[in-house]
Amino acid sequence: MMLHQVEQKILSVLSERMPASEVAQKAGLPISSVLSFAQSLKEKSYVTLESEEQKSLSLTPEGKRYISEGLPEERVHLAAISGAPISHLSPEEKSIGLVWARKNGWVGIGGGMLKSEMPAEQNYSLRAALGKVERGESIAEEESQLLMKRKLVQQSVSKTTYLSPAAVQPMDEAAGSNETNAITRELLLSGKWRALSLRPYDVSSPAEIPYAAKRHMISRLQARIRRIFSDMGFEVMNGPEIQGSFWNFDALFQPQDHPARDLADTFYMEGASPLPDDAELISKIKKVHERSWGGQWTEENASRAVLRTHTTAVSARYLYEKCKDGAPKKYFSIGKVYRNEATDYKHLAEFFQVEGIVVWEGATFRDLLGCLKEFYSRLGFEKIRFQPSYFPYTEPSLEISVYFEEKKQWLELGGAGIFRPEVSIPLCDRYPVLAWGLSLERPLMLLNDMDDIRTFYRNNLGWIRKQKLK
C-alpha cells in the first residue's frame, strides 16, 4: 500500500493523539492538507479520527450595556419599589422591562402606578449570569437559552479534529516508495519521472456539490399565492408598513382605548402621521366612534404613527381610495406586519400576512367561504374547516383551519368575516365587504413539516439548499 508524501509526513510526527493543528505545525504542512489526507489515512487504517465541538458564549453589545445599567425589568422593579408611575418609565422599560417584570412576578400595576410585589433585596439572577459570561464562567443551560432568546449573548461553536495512530498499523510494502502526484517540467527534462511512482487519480473522491441559485421558500410561496389570487380574478393592493393609527385602528372601528393599541402589542414610531385630507371622512369616523363606543375621539390619538399590526390597514385605505364607484372589486395583498411580543417556536415579532377583500353588494357569507375554500384547495389543503369566531371589525366572523395529515390534527391558519357597517360605510358607502387575514408562514410550516417558525429567518444557507422546490 503506497503512501503519498504528505501522508508519510503526517505519520512521521504522529506518535500520540494530537489535534490536527499541532500535526500541521510539526509536519510543516497547511492545516487543510492535514485534514484532507487524514481522511485518506483513516481509510487505509493508519489513523483514527475524532471531532470535538466546543461551545462558548459571549456578550452582545446590548448584554454589555445591561451589565452596567441593569436589565430593563430590574430598573422597572426598582421604580416600583419607589412607587413611581408608569409614565416615568423609559420606552425600553415600558416595552421590554415591564413585560418581563410582570412575567417574573416582581411588579403589579394599579391606577397607572407601579407596585412592587417582591422585596427590595431581590436577587437578579439573569444579570449575575451575564457577569459569569463576561468572566468566561459557565452558566445553566436554562439561563443561556433565555439570554440567547433575548439576544443578550451569542453562542459560537468551534470544532477540533484529533488524529491518533491506529492500534494496529497495516503492512506497508512500499513505505519508502518515491511517490508523486504531479509531473513537473524539471522531472520530464531530467528523466527522473521514470523512477517515481505516480499516484492514481481518484475520480470517486468526494467533491463540493455545485449549488444553483434558489429562491427562499417564503418568496416562492408568495409568488404561488399571487398566481392563485390572480387566477381567481383578484388585483394586488399595496401600502406602507408605517401607518397612522387612523388607518390601522380608527378606520377599522377599534376604540381609542382598546387594549390592542397598548404598547405591549404595538410598535409606536416617533412623530405623527398626518390624517387624510378629507374633513368629511374624519367626521364620519369620529361620529361612529363616539356614538358606538362613547367617550371622546381625538385626532391626536388617530395621528400616532405605528408599524402596522395587520395588513387590514391597507384594505381600509383601498376601500376609501378605490371602491366608491359602485363597481364590484376584488383585492389581495401580501405584506409584513409587526407585533411587539416575545418570539418563540410559533410566534414572531414580524411576519407576513395574506389579506383579501371582496367589495360587492350581492356578496354573501357563503361567497366568503367559497373564496377561502378555493384558495386553500389550490394551495394543496383538501380538508378545510370553518368555525365561528370574533374579531373587532367583522361580523359575522370565522376562523379557518386545515387538517394536517402527518400530525393528524386541525391547525388554525387565519381569520375572516364581513366588515361591519361601521367600517365599510364611512370609508366607501358600500356593504357588504368580505375580508380575510391569513398566515403565510404557518401553511408553509405545514407543507414542509417544520416545528419552529424562526427557522425561516436564520439565514442558514445549508438549510435553504436542502429545501425541495415545490
Confidence at 379, pLDDT banded by 50, 70, 90: confident
- For cell 523512477, what's the residue? 195
Confidence at 455, pLDDT banded by 50, 70, 90: confident
Q: So what's the pLDDT on residue 73?
A: 87
Q: So what's the pLDDT on residue 23?
A: 87
Write out the E strands in 18-116: 18-19, 47-59, 107-110, 113-116
In a domain, 299, yes or no: yes
Confidence at 37, pLDDT banded by 50, 70, 90: confident
- The closest of 15, 47, 54, 31 to 160, measured between CA atoms, is 54
In a domain, 78, yes or no: no
Q: Residue length, the chain? A: 470
CA-to-CA distance for 400 and 411, rounded, in angstroms?
8
**What mean pLDDT comes out for the span 356-365?**
95
**91 grid coordinates:** 420606552
| Domain span holding position 241 | 217-466
CA-to-CA distance for 433 and 435, rounded, in angstroms?
6
69-73, 132-136, 429-433 — which one is most confidently predicted on average?
A: 429-433
In a domain, 312, yes or no: yes
Q: Which residue would you say has higher pLDDT here, 418 or 172?
A: 418
Q: So what's the pLDDT on residue 234?
A: 96
Contacts of 354 (CB under 8 A, 6+ apart): 225, 311, 332, 333, 334, 414, 436, 437, 438, 439, 440
> What proportion of the chain, given as a percentage, has pLDDT over 70?
92
Cis peptide before 396 (omega within 30 of 0): yes
**What mean pLDDT comes out for the span 373-388?**
91
Any idea which of 38-42, 198-202, 437-441 has the lowest mean pLDDT? 198-202
Report pLDDT digits (tens) over 242-283: 999 999 999 999 998 887 777 657 898 998 999 999 999 999
Percent helix, strand, coil in the chain, to 5, is: 40, 25, 35
Q: How many separate domains does the chain show?
A: 1
Residue 368 sits in a domain whose CATH number is 3.30.930.10
Q: So what's the pLDDT on residue 264?
A: 59
Residue 227 has pLDDT above 90, yes or no: yes
Q: So what's the pLDDT on residue 120?
A: 59
CA-to-CA distance for 428 and 65, rounded, in angstroms?
51
In a domain, 315, yes or no: yes
- Residue 416 falls in which region: left (phi positive, over 0), alpha (psi -120 to 50) or beta: beta
Q: So what's the pLDDT on residue 426?
A: 95
In a domain, 401, yes or no: yes
CA 324 to chain centre: 38
**What mean pLDDT comes out for the span 378-387?**
89
Q: pTM score > 0.85 for this model?
A: no
**270 grid coordinates:** 416617533
Residue 121 has pLDDT above 60, yes or no: no
In a domain, 129, yes or no: no
Contact (Cβ atoms closer than 8 angstroms) between residue 58 and residue 154: yes
- For cell 468551534, what's the residue? 158
With H, G, I as helix, E, B as strand and everything else as coil, classify residue 54: strand
- The closest of 290, 446, 438 to 381, measured between CA atoms, is 446
Cβ density class 83-93: b for 16+ within 10 Å, e for less? eeebeebeeeb
CA gyration radius for the chain?
32
**What mean pLDDT comes out for the span 440-449?**
80
CA-to-CA distance for 354 and 266, rounded, in angstroms?
19
Residue 356 has pLDDT above 90, yes or no: yes
In a domain, 246, yes or no: yes
- The closest of 152, 137, 148 to 67, measured between CA atoms, is 152
In a domain, 205, yes or no: no
Q: So what's the pLDDT on residue 213?
A: 76
34-43, 211-220, 223-232 — which one is most confidently predicted on average?
A: 223-232
